[in-house]
Amino acid sequence: MILIAEAGSTKTDWLLLDENAQVLLETQTLGINPSVFDIAVLEKRIKDNSTLFSVKENITQIEFFGAGCGTEQPRKALKELLQRLFQNAEVAVFEDTYAAALAVTTQPGIVCILGTGSNSCYFDGNQIHLKFPSLGYTLMDEASGNYFGKRLIRDYFYEIMPEELRVNFSKSFNLDPDEIKHNLYKKENPNAYLASFAAFIYAQEENNYFKHLITEGINEFIEKRILCYAEADKLPIHFVGSIAHYSRSIISDSLKAYNLRLGNIIQRPIDGLINHYCNKK
C-alpha cells in the first residue's frame, strides 16, 4: 500500500492507495510543516490520527509532499520521522510545489501555490525548477492567506479599512493587541493564525476594498514569483490552493493585464494527485 500526503501549515491530507491506485482511506491531520514545527509536534499530530496510525504496518511506500520541505535540513528531519513511524515503508519527501505541479498538469507550465503560504515553480513536464528558495511567511508568501491576514490586521488598526468592514471585522475576531501579539510571537504556527483572518475577505460581499486588496497581492505575486521565469509568457499559469480558488476572477484579470495565460485552478492538490496516481497505473 502507498500512503500519499499533501501537507501545508494548516492541514495535511492523507490518502492510502492499494496496488491499483484505488483509494482505501482518506483522512486529515493538522499541518505537517518541518520548517515551522518541532519534530515532536509533528510526531504527535501523526500519532493522534488513530485511523492512519492503525494501518502503519501495511504501508510499504510513502510519498510526502509538503510546505517547508524545500530545503535539506527540514526535509531530512521529516523523512527520518516518517521512516521511524512507518518502519515497513520506503519514504520519499518532496516539497509542495511538486505536488501542485502533478495535480494540475502533465505538460510544461508555471505552477503556483496560493494557500496559507505561497510559492511558484516552472514545471518542465517531469521535474520542477524553482527560481528562488522559499523563505516563508515573514519574508515572502506574496498573495497568500497569511499575506492577506497581515494586510487586514494592519488596515484595521491604521483605520484604512472602510468603517462598516471594521465593525464586522472586530465582531469576527479577537483583535485585542495582546491577543494578537501572543499568537504571533508566543504560540506555534503564526502563519496559519494570520491566514485565518483572510477568510473574512471571502465571507463578505464583494466590494472595492477587497478587490483592490486582492488585486495588489496578486500583482505583487505575478511580478515577483511568475515573471521571474523566462517561460512565463509562453506557457499556461496554473494555481492551486484556497486563495487561488476564491480569487479566480481577479487572477484571470490580472494575468491578462500582464499578457499571461491562465491554466488550471484547483482548490485541493490532493484531488489532482488522486488522478495522477490513477493515471500511472
> Nearest 5 degrees, angle CA 148-CA 38-CA 90?
105
CB 13 within 8 A of CB 270: yes
CA angle 17, 19, 20 (to 5 degrees): 85
| 56 lies in some domain | yes
Q: Does residue 69 form part of some domain?
A: yes
- 3 forms beta bridges with 16, 62
Q: What is the pTM of this model?
A: 0.86
- Rounded Cα distance between 242 and 57, Å, is 33
Q: Answer whether residue 115 is part of any domain.
A: no
Residue 44 covered by a domain? yes
The tens digit of pLDDT for each residue in 26-38 reads 999 999 999 888 9
3-class DSSP state of 13? strand
142 belongs to a structural domain: no
Give residue-wise pLDDT tens across range 80-118: 999 999 999 999 999 889 989 999 999 999 999 999 899
- Give the range among 92-96, 99-103, 146-150, 274-278 with minimum mean pLDDT: 274-278
| CATH number of the domain enclosing 56 | 3.30.420.40
Residue 60 lies in a domain: yes
- Structural domain including 37 reads 2-99+270-280
Structure-model confidence comparison of residues 191 and 173, the more confident one = 173
**Given pLDDT bands bounded at 50, 70 and 90, which one contains residue 1?**
confident
Residue that is written with C-alpha cell 504556527 in the block = 189
Query: How many domains in the chain?
Result: 1
In-domain check, residue 19: yes
Residue 253 lies in a domain: no
Give the model's pLDDT for residue 18.
85
Q: How far apart are CA 202 and CA 105, in angstroms?
A: 27
